[in-house]
Amino acid sequence: MDELRETAVLPQLTTKWLGRSYHYFPEIGSTNDALKDAAAVQSPQKLPAGAVFLTDYQHQGRGRLTRRWLAAAGTSLLFSLLFRPDWPPEQAQWLTMLASLAVAQTVEEMTNLTVALKWPNDVMLQQAGEWRKFGGMLLEGVMGDNGRLQRIILGIGLNVNLPPQQLPEVITPATSLLAVTGTAVSRLDLLVNLLQHLETGYERADDGRSPHPAWQKRLITLGQPVKASQTGTTTPIRGTAVATDEWGRLLVRDNQGKLHTIAAGDVTLR
């Protein structure tokens, strides 16, 4: 297992601010929960934008939609990042887009693989002719009194060196970089490169340059027949995913030709 302690990571970082406040935990409940709690009580001076909480093992790792996120100790990248964007709330989804793109760029630079994205937050690799999920993002925001985003916790979980027999049995079939390439990948190199891409992407977005076109281009969901379950509703919509909008919402045309806008939820490729 490669080392991800402060002493191993900090000397390798190439970023200006992302990850410079770096906190390693050998084991924790959930890095999202811990960072969310810390950011609620600590000042921006103590816990600045760009702070990272990273662990080798989570015993209460969380996925989206109240799912669990399971990963054997030392096999994965499990971390959460703190952002303090002064953005309107609908722009929060840009962070998922940026992070997904940063993962895709990093993995493609470090391996000869092609990474695709599945709406809304899954990062996918091809294995034995099908797209399988090797990572996901969990975005949790806090609004300020001014109606703008005050802080966002972005959790990233990547199956790096998870052996095939330890892959979790989940709704979207899972894989790992090890399972696809057959060789272990340095989590340290992956983390350092990923943080650099993410910092660059964030700064561009903060400058008003949207990650949406690049993100949409990588979505395998578009043009596919889907069953879309919206958070808070019980009847799924069946139709074809036709596009996404600037804020990452999925547009699904149902079999009667009616267009539905899905803001949050899940899709199954049919």
Closer by beta carbon to ligand BTN, 158 or else 252: 158
CB nearer to ligand BTN: give 58 or 161.
58
Please, what is the minimum distance in Å from the beta carbon of residue 20 to ligand BTN? 19
- Residue closest to ligand BTN when measured from CB atoms: 136
Question: Cβ closer to ligand BTN: 105 or 159?
Answer: 159
Beta carbon nearer to ligand BTN, 136 or 201: 136
DSSP track, the chain: ----SHHHHGGG---SSTTSSEEEESSBS-HHHHHHHHHHHS-TTTS-TT-EEEES-BSS-B-STT-B----TTSEEEEEEEE-----GGGGHHHHHHHHHHHHHHHHHHSS--EEEETTTEEEEEETTEEEEEEEEEEEEEE-TTSSEEEEEEEEEEE-S--GGG----SSPB--HHHHHSS---HHHHHHHHHHHHHHHHHHHHTT--SHHHHHHTBSSTTSEEEEEETT-SSPEEEEEEEE-TT-PEEEEETTS-EEEE-SEEEEE-
Nearer to ligand BTN, 149 or 160 (CB): 160
CB of 230 to ligand BTN, least distance (A): 16
Q: Minimal distance in Å, beta carbon 258 to ligand BTN?
A: 28
HEC secondary structure over 16-72: CCCCCCEEEECCECCHHHHHHHHHHHCCCCCCCCCCEEEECCECCCECCCCCECCCC
Specify the residue, 170 or 243, whose C-beta has the smaller distance to ligand BTN.
170
Query: Considering the complex, what minimum distance in angstroms separates the CB of residue 95 from ligand BTN?
Result: 13
CB of 68 to ligand BTN, least distance (A): 9
Least separation in angstroms between residue 138's CB and ligand BTN is 4
Structure tokens at 89: 């709330």
CB of 133 to ligand BTN, least distance (A): 7
Residues that bind ligand BTN (CB under 6 A): 30-32, 58, 61-64, 67, 69, 78-80, 121-122, 136-138, 155-157
Q: Measured from the CB atom, is 137 or 180 closer to ligand BTN? A: 137
Distances from the Cα of 22 to the Cαs of 53, 165, 209, 210, 243, in angstroms?
Answer: 6, 32, 27, 27, 37
